[in-house]
Amino acid sequence: MASYRKLKSGWKVTISQRDENGKLRQTSKQGFATKLEARRYAATIEQDIDGVKKAKQDTLFLDYYDQWVDTYKRPKVQASTMIKYRAVHNLIKDNFAGVKIQDITRTDYQRFLNRIGQHYAKDSIRIFTSPIKECVRSAIADDVIVKDFTQQTEMIYGYQRRDVEYLTIAEIKKLAQTIEQSLKPTRPIPYVIYTAIYTGMRLGEIAALEWSDIDFDKRTISITKTWSSVTHEAKSPKTESSNRVIVVNKHLLDVLLQLKDNGHDMIFKTLHGMPASRSVNVSLRSFLKKAGINKSGYHFHSLRHSHVAYLLSKGVDLYAISKRLGHKDMTITAKTYAYLIDEYKEKQDQQIVKAIDEI
């Protein structure tokens, strides 16, 4: 509502309205020659305020999310990260098409979590819901909605991701021997797989390696970048902890030197460019079959798990493994490889009991 007051300089009008949170907001202007002019101004302001409020209330959830991503995320995140935001866009489109954001209730959002939880594992659910929660908080800050409908809801993840398959020590040796017998410098991809066996490095980290990253005297590899399959260029790792120097054995370095004559600064560059994930996995499955190893769910990243399993079996300290993998702290390593750690803990417990029995 508006109130009017006659001043020496003319009429003054004050428009008072409460926002969605009940907070009183006022707009004032003075200097009108007549009270009628002040009334006309007040009517215009009240109409504009109501119009903006109604426009906000008519905002579709999907439209607001896209606007939020374009404004706050796209300018600063890497192209590969945008894949995650596009995936969330598709989820919102599939589950909230045509739904206004202020019409969504906590119950609606919980039902959404119940649905997607049937098809995704816990980690995937977190990846999807994190941007949604951040977007909803932004909508509250923009006065588009009043309450956070994601609060006091529970993630559902009836779909449980299987533990990643890993190779036994004998299988690791068999795979390495099979690859060694097939190595040809004109085909760098087998060398990529061979490097993963000995280092536990991620595919992007291996693909980005240059000869300058290897210290043949100290027998170390410096990992300072990762190859993006989206932008087709080397970029800095997402976290500072991913920048690291790892020790390797002379045998691996001797094998990699076979690629030196290819004449590229990038160690694993092929005739068709950088090794693609699909081509690497096809090659890996071929080597597994040739080695007589039947692991239907085994893929390139499983080599990282196998590397950890091997180091654990040899009694390597978890802290050293964590640093080698480029994890921020041991908690991440312990969580990611909990199933392996539990397995080796059980074996250690058996050794402890045996040792106690001998007292």
pLDDT digits over 133-172, tens only? 999 999 998 888 888 999 999 988 765 555 567 788 889 9
State mean pLDDT over 94-104: 93
Which structure tokens are listed for 162? Answer: 């299987």
The token duo for 322 is 């964590």
DSSP code of residue 116: H
Q: What percent of the chain has pLDDT over 70?
A: 86
- Quote the CA–CA distance of 152 and 280 in Å, as a whole number: 43
Residues of CATH 1.10.150.130 domain(s) within the chain? 61-141
pLDDT beyond 80 at 279: yes
Question: 6-49, pLDDT tens digit by residue?
Answer: 888 888 888 877 665 667 777 788 888 877 778 877 777 766 55
Domain with CATH 1.10.443.10 in the chain: 172-300
Looking at the DSSP bridge assignments, the partners of residue 273 are: 270
Q: What is the pLDDT of residue 138?
A: 93
Q: Residues 126, 120: contact at Cβ < 8 Å? A: no
Residues 6+ apart with CB under 8 A from 253: 214, 216, 219
Is a pLDDT exceeding 50 seen at residue 51? Answer: no
The pLDDT value recorded for residue 52 is: 44
**What tokens were used for 30?**
């003075």
**Using 50, 70 and 90 to split pLDDT, how confident is the model at 347?**
low
**Residue 50 pLDDT > 80, yes or no?**
no
Distance from chain centroid for Cα 281: 21
The architecture CATH gives domain 61-141: Orthogonal Bundle (1.10)
pTM: 0.61
What's the mean pLDDT in 47-62?
A: 63
**Does 3.40.1710.10 match the CATH number of domain 172-300?**
no
In which band, very low, low, confident or very high, does the pLDDT at 330 lie, cut at 50, 70 and 90? confident
The DSSP symbol for 71 reads: I
Q: Is residue 238 over pLDDT 90?
A: no
Percent of all residues in the chain with a pLDDT value above 90, rounded to a whole number: 44
- Is residue 275 within 8 Å of 284, Cβ to Cβ? no
In contact, 219 and 248? CB cutoff 8 Å? yes
**Distance, CA of 201 to CA of 207 (rounded, Å):** 10
Q: Is the pLDDT of residue 220 over 60?
A: yes
**Non-local CB neighbours of 7 within 8 Å, separated by 6+ positions:** 30
CA 36 to chain centroid: 60
Residue 54, token pair as written in the block: 């109604």
